[in-house]
């Protein structure tokens, strides 16, 4: 998918969430392209709180609007909503752990294209990618480490220890220094 088209769909989805009063945070490939080295992605990952009935009601209104706009809705036990078009998928992930709650509270607002979005911090993106630890995640972490020398290492190390990711973190840091 072309970058301008991806940004247009991102802006559409963000405006829809904001219209419905949904709090959100962007993660995944979009966040990686912001913090690390850009890479292609065919999905936009939204993290949304699904704590109160009002959150669920708002997401249902988002789902209804997406269907009206021609998005195909899919069911998945791990995500409260998946919406697809032929060349793009919107994945909505819910907050499930104490760590998820803290990383959501740390989200920051940045400018992407001509609009503002809430995005995960670079530190939390590193930690999330350590949890997944696929080869592309390791490459993404290295890209973030190479591009940013002012990371909150105290926060990263605290959560790496709590999430039992210390060895993975050490390995990726060493790989980034080569």
Same domain for 85 and 21: yes
Range of the domain at 131: 121-178
Asked if residue 60 and residue 128 are part of one domain, the reply reads no
Closest CA to 140 of 33, 55, 50: 33
- pLDDT tens figures, 93-106: 999 999 999 999 99
What is the model's pLDDT at position 169? 98
Which residue, of 103, 120, 137, is where some domain finishes?
120
pLDDT at 1: 45
**pLDDT tens-digit map of 113-172:** 899 999 999 999 999 999 999 999 999 999 999 999 899 999 999 999 999 999 999 999
What is each CA distance from 90 to 69, 108, 141, 156, in whole angstroms? 13, 20, 23, 28
Same structural domain, 106 and 173: no
Q: Give 20's strand partners.
A: none
C-alpha 60/C-alpha 151 separation (Å) is 37
How many structural domains does the chain have?
A: 2
Taking the C-alpha atoms of residue 52 and residue 94, their distance in angstroms, rounded to an integer, is 12
C-alpha 38/C-alpha 156 separation (Å) is: 22
Taking CA 37 as the corner, what is the angle to CA 32 and CA 43, rounded to the nearest 5 degrees? 40
Give strand pairing partners of 76.
79
The reported pLDDT for the residue numbered 22 is 95
Do 47 and 115 lie in a common domain?
A: yes
Task: Provide the pLDDT confidence category of residue 175 given band limits of 50, 70 and 90.
Answer: very high
For the chain, where are the alpha helices, taking DSSP H only? 3-19, 28-35, 53-68, 98-105, 122-132, 135-147, 153-162, 166-176
Same domain, yes or no: 83 and 1: yes
Query: The domain spanning residue 105 has which CATH number?
Result: 3.30.460.40
Q: Residue 3 above 90 pLDDT? A: no
Q: Tokens for 72, please give them.
A: 């195909």
pLDDT digits (tens, 9 = 90+) for 40-90: 899 999 999 998 899 999 999 999 999 999 999 998 878 999 999 998 999
107 and 132 belong to one structural domain: no
How many other CB atoms are found less than 10 A from the CB of residue 168? 18
Biggest alpha carbon distance in the chain?
Answer: 50
């Amino acid at each position: 998918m072309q970058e301008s088209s991806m940004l247009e769909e991102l802006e559409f989805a963000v405006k829809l969430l904001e219209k419905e009063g949904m709090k959100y945070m962007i993660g995944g490939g979009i966040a990686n392209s912001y913090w690390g080295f850009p890479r292609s992605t065919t999905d936009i990952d939204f993290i949304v709180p699904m704590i109160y009935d009002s959150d669920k009601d708002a997401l249902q209104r988002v789902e209804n609007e997406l269907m009206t706009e021609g998005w195909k809705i899919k069911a998945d036990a791990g995500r409260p909503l998946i919406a697809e078009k032929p060349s793009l998928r919107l994945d909505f992930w819910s907050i499930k752990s104490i760590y998820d709650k803290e990383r959501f509270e740390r989200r920051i607002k940045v400018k992407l294209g001509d609009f503002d979005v809430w995005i995960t911090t670079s530190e939390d993106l590193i930690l999330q990618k350590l949890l997944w630890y696929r080869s592309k995640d390791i490459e993404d972490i290295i890209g973030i480490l190479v591009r940013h020398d002012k990371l909150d290492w105290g926060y990263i190390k605290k959560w790496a220890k709590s999430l039992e990711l210390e060895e993975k973190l050490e390995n990726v840091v060493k790989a980034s220094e080569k």
